[in-house]
C-alpha cells in the first residue's frame, strides 16, 4: 500500500469493518472532529480499499467501496478522510455514496 502512514490508514479501514455497529469501538477510531453518520445503513456496510491511501503530512485520503451486507450490493465508491492526532491515524469523515 505504500509508506507506513498509508499502511496505518489501510489498517484503520479494516478496523472500521470490525468496529461498525459498536459505538465504543468506533469512538476509539474517530478523530475528535469526526463527522460520521453511524446509521443502520452505515453499520450494514463493508468497506474495501479501492485506491492506495494518499498522505500529506497529518492528513490522508482513501477511496473506498461501500457494499451493503449481507446482500453484497455495491453502493459505490467514496473518498474518506483521515487525520493524525497524537501520533495516531483517526477517521475524520466517512460519507456513504
> Percent of the chain, pLDDT > 90?
81
Report CA-CA distances (Å) from 56 to 41, 74, 93: 30, 29, 16
Give residue-wise pLDDT tens across range 14-56: 999 999 889 899 999 999 988 777 678 889 999 999 999 999 9
pTM over cut 0.85: yes
What is the structure's pLDDT at 1?
44
Per the CB < 8 A criterion, the answer to whether 54 and 62 are in contact is: yes
In order of their start, the domains of the chain are: 4-93 (3.10.450.50)
Amino acid at each position: 500500500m505504500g509508506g507506513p502512514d498509508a499502511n496505518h490508514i489501510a489498517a484503520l479501514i479494516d478496523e472500521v469493518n470490525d468496529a461498525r455497529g459498536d459505538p465504543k469501538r468506533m469512538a476509539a477510531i474517530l478523530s475528535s472532529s469526526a463527522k460520521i453518520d453511524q446509521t443502520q445503513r452505515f453499520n450494514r456496510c463493508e468497506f474495501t480499499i479501492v485506491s492506495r491511501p494518499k498522505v500529506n503530512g497529518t492528513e490522508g485520503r482513501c477511496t473506498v467501496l461501500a457494499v451493503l451486507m449481507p446482500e453484497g450490493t455495491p453502493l459505490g465508491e467514496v473518498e474518506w478522510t483521515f487525520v493524525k492526532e497524537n501520533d495516531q491515524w483517526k477517521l475524520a469523515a466517512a460519507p456513504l455514496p
